[in-house]
Amino acid sequence: MIDTVIFDLGGVIVNIDRDCSVKAFQALGLKDAGTYLDPYHQSGIFLELEDGRLDADEFCERLGQLCGRPVSFLQAQEAWMGFISGVPGERLAYVESLRKDYQVCLLSNTNPFIMEWARSPRFTNAGRALDDYFDHLFLSYRMRCVKPHRKIFRDVIDTLGVKPEHILFVDDGPANIETAKGMGFLTFMPVNGSNWIPDVQKVLANAVISRNRDR
């Protein structure tokens, strides 16, 4: 029986555009930004930020060293925000509707710059923050671990007190899906920018049918 649904943020809840962010960091002076930034898994200081080894101030300092110029929080945030190309309201409405029947969570490889925006009223045109739509937010930089490591999934399971087979995990990263599936999660992998709502509805409906057959 599925009683918990866990969503990724970038590429699932919000649309992403890696190239726009790469160009923004290049404009700050990080000419090889494309070697650090990936739609699913960062590297170098970008990974160290998302797995909690660097805080926002330390990241700005290290980024400034790489760029050869001081970089402020707002400048770094603007470059990170290049990743976000849209926040479709229909997805948020659907996620919120699921909370009537499921525990709904977010599990994201993310950082303080994105979250300062997402967890504020600036997140939506309606003035609602990301927190308004989920029962729990699991954020990599706070958990000090990133997907696809098994540890972050294990920490989520332990915190929620839910068995993996009772969880639907929705993520657009192949490696993240592979790890979750190997641990027993039911999974679905949408394409960034696609309307995945009908597909998730079908997955959940099939899970209910399967449960009834097993009774």
8 catalytic residue (yes or no): yes
CA–CA separation, 107 and 26 (whole Å): 28
Q: Measuring CA to CA, which residue among 40, 34, 37 is closest to residue 8?
A: 40
Q: Under a CB-based contact definition with an 8 Å cutoff, are residues 103 and 159 in contact? A: no
| Selected catalytic residue, list 3, 8, 131, 132 | 8
Which two tokens mark 153?
A: 């999934």
DSSP per-residue string spanning 141-192: HHHT--TT-HHHHHHHHHHHT--GGGEEEE-S-HHHHHHHHHTT-EEE-PPT
Q: Measuring CA to CA, which residue among 140, 204, 215 is closest to residue 169?
A: 204
Q: Which residues are catalytic?
A: 8
